[in-house]
Amino acid sequence: MRLSRFWSLMEEEFGSGYAHVLADSLVLSQYQKTAGEALSSGASPRDVWEAVCDQQEVPAERRLGRDIPPKR
């Protein structure tokens, strides 16, 4: 997962304003760092996204983002 996809999923799930606040304030128990700190220290965006989802109890059906119909 690219970092841009991580932020896209964060903003889709938590809202564009709150996603960045959450990333800078929620300490992920898996890393003992915030999401932003974990990403800055080299953690995989996918792993950080999964940790955020686990800690915030995001349902499995929403972890891959919303379905977007293909362009014709």
pTM: 0.87
CA angle 42, 45, 46 (to 5 degrees): 130
d(CA 16, CA 29): 23
Model confidence pLDDT, tens digit, residues 33-54? 999 999 999 999 999 999 999 9
Contacts (Cβ under 8 Å, ≥6 apart) of 28? 34, 35, 38, 48, 51, 52, 55
Model confidence pLDDT, tens digit, residues 6-42? 999 999 999 999 999 999 999 999 999 999 999 999 9
Domain extents in the chain: 3-56
